[in-house]
Structure 1
Amino acid sequence: MPNAPYDPRAVANKLLDLADIIGAGDMPITPLALQKLLYLVHFRFLAATGQAAVKGSFEAWQYGPVHPVVYNAFSEFGRNPITARAKGKDLITGEDRALDIPTDKTLHQIIVQVLSSVGYMSARRLVDLSHAPNGPWDYIWKKIQAGTALTRHIPNNVTLERGRFMMVDANKKVCDSPYVDKIPSEYRTGTLCGNSSRGKTR
């Protein structure tokens, strides 16, 4: 079994590293896009293992699910692609230290699946996915707007129960990815594209 949940900054770092590999340097990820990709990873990990991928909670913000810890770690990049990795603090010296990157094979594969499916999408398009009707964000956001939500937190049970609504359109987009030809077949999402490249019948 995995040793999840993990430090959300460390999972974000792993996602960014794998995006560099899969996209061969041509899959830039902004802080806004990172939040949506990380949330999709969190959902798929929950569905696969029954455990949360990251510590802490995602919250329903205006532009979709946001993990506050990750927001603070990468906010300096604004709307620009992220070019550095989050670091931790040594509790004794107060100096920056590298975060331990999870070696969880399930997490690794899920990140690759998410990136191969939607990693090429713009931040705006990823926001659209996260806003899917009946999805986790939509469910909590409507409660916030109605004044019936006590917090902005998106509980894991809501993510697990409603996350599938976010993935309906995402799965249809796998064959359209400009990175499909570069992705090893064992990492391609499901059988939507079979063993062929994009553009074939779904």
Structure 2
Amino acid sequence: MASAPPYDPRTIANELFHLANEYGLLITHLTIQKAVYFLHEKYLHNHDVPLCLGHFEAWQHGPVHPQLWESFKKYGSEPVTAPAEGFDILTGEAKELPRVSSQEDRRFLTAKGLGLIELPAHRLVGLSHARGGPWDAVTRIGGKRHYGARIPNELIVQKRNGRLMPVRDSRTSDEVMYEQPPTRD
């Protein structure tokens, strides 16, 4: 079991996957990305320690953790049907990732994560695009949007989305959204 943060982001994603299954919810890759980001943001704000290893990048539909994108991209906009796997570096075989063992962190993930995964993906995207928030600050360069930059943890704490309103929330619930890596010009 994973004992202390920061955790492998796939471990956090898997906790959300298991939570969704427990409550009979379907969860998409896009929902996982945004929910993990908001959990990371809240945890960082509350504990001054990152929830996830690695970094988030500012992509078109909001913050994306590249390791999660690699793990779940095969699902496109369809529901995720299996947890992410790790790989044994000695054998190259797939292996199950550890669960979060800290009871305090499991309570946090359940309490905050369930509310996030119950929201429609388009709403999570809208919230991640909050004017003045981390994604907005990183992508707004010279009056234009530029995607692919890292979102530093310091900026996440400084410009936390939890107190901001979305720029827009005009997507309909039946509109398909699928994140693609930004082009590097």
Percent identity between matched residues is 35
In 2, the alpha carbon distance for the partners of 1:56 and 1:130 equals: 19
SS in 1 for 2:95: strand
Provide the residue aligned with 1:20 in structure 2.
Answer: 21
Residues 133 and 164, structure 2, Cα contact 8 Å, conserved in 1: no
Q: Of residues 144, 150, 165 in structure 2, which corresponds to 1:153?
A: 150
- Amino acid across the alignment from 2:103: K
- Amino acid across the alignment from 1:158: L
Q: Of residues 58, 61, 73 in structure 2, which corresponds to 1:60?
A: 58
Structure 1 or 2: more helix by fraction: 1
Q: Could you say if the C-alpha distance between residues 167 and 17 of structure 1 is closer, same or farther in structure 2, counting changes exceeding 3 Å?
A: farther
Aligned length: 164
1:162 aligns with 2:163: no
Residue ranges of structure 2 left out of the alignment (5+ in a row): 167-185
In 2, the alpha carbon distance for the partners of 1:167 and 1:38 equals: 18
Q: TM-score scaled by structure 2?
A: 0.80
Structure 1 or 2: more strand by fraction: 2
SS in 1 for 2:151: coil
Summarize deviations over 1:72-92 as a string: whole Å, max 9, x none.
101111101111011111111
Summarize deviations over 1:69-115 as a string: whole Å, max 9, x none.
00010111110111101111111111111111221233322222323
Provide the residue aligned with 1:30 in structure 2.
Answer: 28
Relative contact order higher in (CA < 8 Å, ≥ 6 apart): 2
Provide the residue aligned with 2:178 in structure 1.
Answer: none
Summarize deviations over 1:128-152 as a string: whole Å, max 9, x none.
0100111111111113865999x61
Q: Could you say if the C-alpha distance between residues 143 and 118 of structure 1 is closer, same or farther in structure 2, counting changes exceeding 3 Å?
A: same
CA RMSD of aligned residues (A): 2.3
Residue ranges of structure 1 left out of the alignment (5+ in a row): 171-202
Cα distance, 1:28 vs. partner? 1.3
1:112 aligns with 2:110: yes
